[in-house]
Amino acid sequence: MKNKIVISVLAVLFVLGMAPLFAGGQQEGATEGAQAAEQDVVVYNSYWSDPEPKRVEAELMEMFREQNPDSKVIHSTVAHEDFKQAIRAYLTSSAPPDVLTWFAGNRARFFIDKGLIMDISDVWEEAGWNESYAKGFRAMSSVDDKQYFLPGNWYWWAIYYDTRVFDEYDIEIPETWDELMAVCEKLKDNGVTPFTVGTKYRWTAAAWFDYLNMRVNGPEFHINLMLGKESYDDARVLKVFNDYWGPMIDKGYFVESPASYAWAEAIPFMTNGDAAMYLMGDFIRDSYPEEDLEYLDFFRFPIIDESVPVGEDAPTDGYFIPKNSQNPEMAKKLLKFFGSKEVQEYVAEELGRLVTNNNVDTSVYNENQLKGRELINKADYVAQFYDRDTTPEMADKGMNGFMEFWQNTDQAEEILEKLEKSRQQLFEE
Amino acid sequence: MPKRNNVPPAVKIVLYLFLVAVTLIWLVPIFIAVITSMRTNADIMSHGFLAMPKTINLKSYVEAWQRGGLHKYLPNSFIITMPSLVLTLLLSSLGAYSLARFKFKGRTFFYFMFVGGTMLPFQILLLPVFRLSDALGIYDTYFALIAIHTAFQLGFCTFVLRNYMMTVPVQVMESARIDGCTELGIWGKIMLPLTLPAFAAIATLEFTWIFNDYIWPLVLIRSSEKMPVTTGLATLQGQYVQDWTVIISGALLATIPTLIVFIFLQRYFIAGLTLGSNK
Amino acid sequence: MLDAKTRYKLIPYAFLGIPVTIYLIWIIGPMLYSFYLSFTKWDGLTAPKFIGSKNYQMLLQDEVFYISLSNNLEWIILFMTIPIALGLTLAMVLNRDIPGAKTFKASFFLPMVLSLVVCGLVWSWLYSPHSGLINEVLRRIGLGDLATGWLSNPKVVMEAVIAVAIWRQVGYVMVLYLAGLQSVDQNLLDAAEVDGASAIQRFFNVLMPQLAPVTVIVIVISIIDSLRAFDLVSVMTRGGPYNQSSVLANFMYIEAFNNYRMGYGAAIAVIIFIISLMFIMFYLTRIAREETNA
C-alpha cells in the first residue's frame, strides 16, 4: 500500500522530470531552425558581472538590436572569475561565442600567439580606427602589424583618500616618498591608520608591489620582471621589500589583518575615519557609500626616485573574436558597434570609465575622469596590472609571495628565492 | 527506544535547555543569512555585514527573481536535475541488481570500477569531458549536463544500492524465479519495490548534489539562457562589486526546492539509509 | 539461439550494459585521459606535450603540495572524530521522544541544505576580525586576547574553515545514525541492561557493533568528503593566506584552471585518487573478502 504511493509519486516525478527535457529539446531545435533561417545570430559572452557594467551592457545590446533589427544577439554574462576559466573551453570549442571580452596586453597576446584569435585588421581599416585610436592602443592590439583586439575602456590606479581626514589634520597632498611617510606618521600619531587594504583576494597587495617596484626600479625593469626576463632574487627587488614595503607594514601603516577582508570590505575603515587612504583603482567609486562619495579624492602615487621614469597602472579591457567564430560577419559588425564613437561616449558617461576612441568628445567626461586621464597622460609608461602583465601562473605564485611577506616581513629573502624558483620553472617550461 | 526514568527531572530539564541553546547557536549563521537578505547593499557597505539592519524589506528577493534572473535559472535547474536524478536511479539500480545478485566474471572489477570512479576529484574531468561533449555535438545543451551528472552519480548510487540489495533475502527472489518470473521481472516487481526506501534516501542526497552543482555548467554551457540557478547566481559576483543581498536572497530562494524535497522524503530518508545494517 | 545456461550467464552483463557503457564513456575514459595528461604539459589549448614524470617530480618538490597534504590529513582526522561524536550523540538524544525532536532534527540538518556559497559568506562575516560576531563575543566575555583574524591568521585559518565544514557535516552524520538506530535490536540492549552492563559497556559492546555498518558508511563518506574538500576553501579563503589553508583539491583546481597547468593539475588529481584509494582500501578489502567467502 505504502509502496504504491511511493511508486506513483516516483512515476509522477519521472514524468515531470522527463517532460521538460523533451520540451527543452524541442525548443532548442526550434531556435536552431530559426537561427538557420535567419543566419544573423551573434553570440556574445562578457565578464562584466558587476552590477553597473551589467546594466550598461544590457542597454548597449538593446541599442544594437534597434540598429540591426534583422539580427539576433545572444548575450551571456559570466562571473568575472569564472570567465577566466571558461575562456579556454570557449576558444577551443567548435562553436565558441562570436565575440568575447578580454584583457588587453599580455593576456590577449597569449591567445593570439596560439592562433586562436581572428585577425581583424580589416575591421580596424574599415572603421578608421587606425586613425581614431591612439598609437599605444593600436600597438597593444597588434601582432606583426595585424590587429586582433579592440580596446574598449580603461581606468586608472591612484591613492584615494578621504578629504575630511586630510582637512582635519591639515595634511597636504604628498608628492614624494618622504612626504608620504611624514603624512603616515602624522596620521598614526593622531590615531588614524594611514592605509586601509583588504588583501583577501591578493591583487590589492599586488598593486603595492607594482607601484613600489615601478617607482623604485622604473617601469622597464618592472615589465621585464613581469615577462620573466629579470629575476625575483635580484637585489633591486629585495630593496623594494626591505626598504619600502616592509617598513610600512612594520610601522603599522596598514590596517590589521588585511587578509580577512575582500577589497570592498576594507572601505568602511575609511568612511568611519579609522583609516585615511587606499591604493585602489577608480572602480572604488562604485562601492563607496553614496553619502561619502563627495569626500573621496585621489592623488598620484608619490615619486620615490626622480631619475626614474613614471609608470602607472591603467588596466584596459576590450574585445576579440575567436578564430572558430560561426558568424564572423556579424561578430565584426558587433565589434564595430563597440568601437564606435557613439557607444564609447555612452560607456564613458554611464560607467565613469575612460574610453579608447580619440573621436570621443571629451565633454562626456566628468571632472574625476579628466583628472584620471591627465594622471595617465603624464605617465612615461602605462602598465596593465601585475596579474595582467605577467603570466597567470606566475601571478598566482607572486601574489602568494606578497601575502606571505605581509605576514612575515623579515623573510623577504627566502620568499624571493622561492619566487625565483617558480619563475625559472614557469618561464623555462 | 523505551524511556528510562532513572534520570532526575531537574537534570533532564537542564540538559534539554542545553540542547535548545546549542541548537540556537547552531542556527545563528542561518539567521544572519536571512536577515542580511532583507537589508540593502548600501546599508551593508556603510555599516558592515553584522550591523543592526537599518531597513528590513523583501525587495532583494524580488530583485533576485527578476534582475538576478532566478525566474529563468530556476526552471533550468529542474530541467537538468530531474532527468539526471531519474536516469541515475534507474541505471544504478540495474547495475546494482546485477552486482548484488549474480556471481559472474568481472563482478568485483565492475564494483571496484564504480567505487573507484567516485574517488576521483571530479574537477580534473572538466576539460576532458568538455572535449567529449564538444566532439559529440552536445556542448552548450542540457544533454551534456544531464549526461555527466547521470554518469558521475552512477558510482555512488550503485555502491549504496548494491549494499542495500545485498540485504534482501535470496529466498524472495528464488521463489519468484521458480514461479517463472523473468530476471527483468524480478528486478522490476520485487527488487525495485523492496529498495524504494533506499531510493528515496539517495534521491534526496542526489537531488541536493546535482541541484547545487556549480562547476559543470561553467564548462559545458555557453549561454546564460541554459544556466542553472547556482551558476546563474554567480554572475551577480562582479570583478569588484558584489551584489550581496541579491546573491544571498537568491541562494536562499534556491534552497527552497531542496528543503521541500528533504521534508517530503525525510521519512523515507531515515528509513532508507539503514544501508544493510541489519545484515 | 543460445542455450538456457549461456543465456543465464549473460543476464548480469545485460543488466550492467547501459550503466557500464555510460560510465566508461563519461567517467572512466576521461579519467584515464587525465592519467595520461599527468605525464604531459598542457595549457588546455594546444596539443598536450609528453614530458614523462616531470610533473610528479615537481610536485614532490612543491611546498604547497605538502601544506595541502597535511591540511587534508588534518581535515580527515577532525572529520572522522568531531562530526561522528556529535552526530551520534545528537542522534541518540533525538531518537527519544523528547518534545520538539523534529524541529531539532531539521535545525541541525539545515546547514547541509544551505548552499556552500552562502555558508562561506556568512561565516566569513562571523570570522571578521574587526566586527565579526565571534571576536565580539570573545571580547565581551573577557577573552579578547583570543580574538584574531580567523581567516587571515595562518595559524588558525585551516581550523576555522574545517569548523564550518563540521558545522555542515554534523546534521548529515546525525541523519545517518538516526537511520541506523531504527534497526538496532532493542532486545539486545535490554538484555545487556538486565545482565548488569553499565551504560558505557552497553554503548561500546552492544550498541556500537550494531551501528558498525552505518559507521563504515559515515567513515567512507567522511574520507571522500575530506579529500574532495573544495568549495568551502574556495569560497572562504581560496587557500590563503599564502596557501596556508590550501587543500589538495583546491591546489589542483588553482593549478589546472587558474594557472592553466592542466598536466600538473592532473598529476595532483592522480595523487588525490591514490590517497583516496589507500584510505578506502580497508573497506574494499572487506568487500573482497566478503566476495570470496560468499
Bridge partner residues of A142 (DSSP): A147
Number of Cβ within a 10 Å radius of residue A293: 12
Of all residues in chain A, the percent with pLDDT exceeding 70 is 91
Average pLDDT over residues A384-391: 93
Q: With an 8 Å Cβ cutoff, are C115 and B212 in contact?
A: yes
Backbone angles phi, psi at B135, to 5 degrees: -65, -35
Of all residues in chain C, the percent with pLDDT exceeding 90 is 34
Number of Cβ within a 10 Å radius of residue A366: 12
Mean of the per-residue pLDDT values of chain B: 83
Q: So what's the pLDDT on residue C213?
A: 73
Average pLDDT over residues A339-354: 91
pLDDT at A202 over 70: yes
The alpha-carbon gap from A257 to the nearest alpha carbon of chain C, in Å, equals: 6
Residues in chain B within 8 Å Cβ distance of A93: 130, 134, 139-140, 222
Cell numbers 635580484 correspond to A234
Q: Which residues contact C193 (CB under 8 A, 6 or more apart)?
A: C202
**Stretch among A109-118, A159-168, A261-270, A325-334 having the lowest mean pLDDT:** A261-270
pLDDT at C178 over 70: yes
Does C192 reach chain B within 8 Å, measured CB to CB? no
Q: Which residues contact A334 (CB under 8 A, 6 or more apart)?
A: A42, A44, A64, A73, A98, A99
Q: So what's the pLDDT on residue A7?
A: 54
What are the pLDDT digits (tens) for B239-261?
777 777 888 888 888 888 888 88
Q: With an 8 Å Cβ cutoff, are B23 and C107 in contact?
A: yes
Nearest to A150 by CA among A90, A104, A111: A104
Residues in chain C within 8 Å Cβ distance of A406: 241
What are the pLDDT digits (tens) for B119-151?
778 888 988 999 899 999 999 999 999 999 999
pLDDT at A58 over 50: yes
Of C214, C231, C284, the CB nearest to B277: C214
What are the pLDDT digits (tens) for B30-71?
988 888 888 877 777 666 666 677 777 788 888 888 888 889
Residues in chain A within 8 Å Cβ distance of B131: 92
Q: So what's the pLDDT on residue A1?
A: 41
Length of chain B: 279
ipTM given for this complex: 0.85
- Whether residue C71 contacts residue C162, with contact meaning beta carbons closer than 8 Å, is answered with no
- Chain A to chain C Cβ contacts (< 8 Å): 74
**Stretch among A67-76, B262-271, C32-41 having the lowest mean pLDDT:** B262-271
Q: So what's the pLDDT on residue C227?
A: 81
The alpha-carbon gap from A254 to the nearest alpha carbon of chain C, in Å, equals: 14
Q: So what's the pLDDT on residue A64?
A: 94
User: What is the secondary structure of chain B as a DSSP string?
Assistant: -PPP--S-HHHHHHHHHHHHHHHHHHHHHHHHHHHHHTS-HHHHHHH-TTSPPS---SHHHHHHHHTT-HHHHHHHHHHHHHHHHHHHHHHHHHHHHHHHH---TTHHHHHHHHHHHHHS-GGGGHHHHHHHHHHTT-TTSHHHHHHHHHHHHHHHHHHHHHHHHHTS-HHHHHHHHHTT--HHHIIIIIIHHHHHHHHHHHHHHHHHHHHH--HHHHHH--SGGG--HHHHHHTTB-SS-B-HHHHHHHHHHHHHHHHHHHHHHHHHHHHHTTTTTT-
What are the pLDDT digits (tens) for C126-135?
898 877 888 8
**Stretch among A281-285, B224-228, C272-276 having the lowest mean pLDDT:** C272-276
CA distance linking residue A290 with residue C75, whole number of Å: 43
Q: With an 8 Å Cβ cutoff, are B223 and A43 in contact?
A: yes
Angle ∠(B56,B58,B59) on CA atoms, nearest 5: 105
Q: So what's the pLDDT on residue C2?
A: 63
If DSSP codes are grouped into helix, strand and coil, which group holds residue A145? coil
- Whether residue B118 contacts residue B160, with contact meaning beta carbons closer than 8 Å, is answered with no
CA distance linking residue B253 with residue A95, whole number of Å: 33
Nearest to B120 by CA among A200, C2, C37: C37
Classify the C-alpha dihedral A373-A374-A377-A378 as positive or negative: negative
Alpha carbon distances (Å) from C77 to B116, B186, C70, C81, C111: 22, 43, 11, 6, 21
Bridge partner residues of A146 (DSSP): A143
Classify the C-alpha dihedral B230-B233-B235-B240 as positive or negative: negative
Q: So what's the pLDDT on residue C185?
A: 79
What are the pLDDT digits (tens) for A18-41?
554 554 444 444 444 444 445 689
| Among chain B residues, CA nearest to A49 | B238
Q: With an 8 Å Cβ cutoff, are C260 and A88 in contact?
A: yes
Mean of the per-residue pLDDT values of chain A: 89
Q: So what's the pLDDT on residue C240?
A: 78
Q: So what's the pLDDT on residue C130?
A: 77
pLDDT at B216 over 70: yes
Q: So what's the pLDDT on residue B168?
A: 80
| Among chain B residues, CA nearest to C166 | B26
Q: Per the structure block, which three cell numbers stand in for B57? A: 524589506
- Chain A to chain B Cβ contacts (< 8 Å): 138
The alpha-carbon gap from B91 to the nearest alpha carbon of chain C, in Å, equals: 5
Residues in chain A within 8 Å Cβ distance of B130: 89, 93
Q: Which residues contact C8 (CB under 8 A, 6 or more apart)?
A: none
* Cis peptide bond prior to C241, omega within 30° of 0: yes
